[in-house]
Amino acid sequence: MSLRLDLAWQAQKWPQAHAACKPALAAVQFEGAKLAETDALTVLRCAVAAVLTGDETAVGAVQAKFGGPMASGPFKNAFAAISAKPQVKWT
C-alpha cells in the first residue's frame, strides 16, 4: 500500500486519497484472478475514494481493470457494492 494513500485515508482526506490512487494502483500486481490481500485493500480504498470524490470515470476504470480479481477476493462484496453503477439518479 502507498504511504501517501494510507495517510490520506487515515485522515479522511478523500481528494488527497483519490490523488494518491493512480500511482498506488499502478503498483498493484496480479496474476490471473489473484490479488494479494494488501493489493485488494488498495483497490478497494481507491474505489471508495473515487466514489467519495464523485469521480465516476475513475470508479469505472477501477472496476474495468480490477473487477475480475476483486470478484474472488476477501473484499468482493464491498467492492461490488462500491463499484456498482447506481440504479437511481437523484435530482
Alpha carbon distance 67, 73 (integer Å): 10
Per-residue pLDDT of the chain (91 residues; tens, 9 = 90+): 689 999 999 999 999 999 999 999 999 988 777 899 999 999 999 999 999 999 999 999 999 999 999 998 899 999 999 998 766 566 6
- Residues 66 and 33: beta-carbon distance below 8 Å: no
Alpha carbon distance 15, 81 (integer Å): 21
* Inter-axis angle of helices 56-70 and 37-52, nearest 10: 160
Q: What is the pTM of this model?
A: 0.89
Cell of 55: 469521480
How many Cα atoms are found within 13 Å in the side-chain-facing hemisphere of 47? Answer: 26
